[in-house]
Amino acid sequence: MNDSCCYVRELHRGLAIKDGMEETKVVVLTGAGISAESGVRTFRDGDGLWEEHRIEDVATPQAWMADPVLVWRFYQARRRQLFDVKPNPAHEALANFAQKHSQFTLITQNVDDLHERAGNDATIHMHGRLRTLRCEQSERSEPRMDERDLGDEFLMCKCCATPQRLRPDIVWFGETPMRMDEIYSAVENCDLFIVVGSSGHVYPAAGLVNVANTAGAKTMLVNLEAPANADSFDEIHLGKAGEILPEVLGLLL
Ligand code: APR
The pLDDT of residue 5: 38
* Atom 25 (ligand 1) nearest CA: 198
DSSP structure class, residue 189: T
Residue 127 annotated to the active site: yes
Residues at CB less than 6 angstroms from ligand 1: 31-33, 36-37, 42-44, 55, 109, 127, 197-199, 201-202, 223-225, 227, 240-241
Q: Which amino acid is at 31?
A: G
For the chain, which residues score pLDDT lower than 50?
1-16, 18
In 3D space, the residue among 128, 89, 96 whose CA is nearest the CA of residue 112 turns out to be 128
Predicted local confidence at residue 15, as pLDDT:
45
* pTM summary value: 0.93
Contact 98, 106 (CB under 8 A): yes
Contact indicator for 18, 252 with CB cutoff of 8 Å: yes
The answer to whether the beta carbons of residues 79 and 51 sit under 8 Å apart is no
Instruction: List the 166-170 sheet strands across, edge first.
Output: 141-143, 128-135, 166-170
Q: What pLDDT was estimated at residue 23?
A: 86
Distance separating alpha carbons of residues 178 and 244, to the nearest angstrom: 29
Q: What is the structure's pLDDT at 42?
A: 84
Q: What is the DSSP letter of 21?
A: G
What per-residue confidence (pLDDT) applies to 249?
96
pLDDT at 116: 98
* Residue nearest to ligand 1 atom 6, measured at CA: 240
The pLDDT value recorded for residue 8 is: 40
Annotated catalytic residue: which of 115, 125, 127, 237?
Answer: 127
Using an 8 Å Cβ cutoff, are 112 and 93 in contact? no
Q: How far is the CA of 55 from the centre of ligand 1 (A)?
A: 13
pLDDT value at position 80? 96
Q: Among 35, 116, 123, which Cα is nearest to 78's?
A: 35
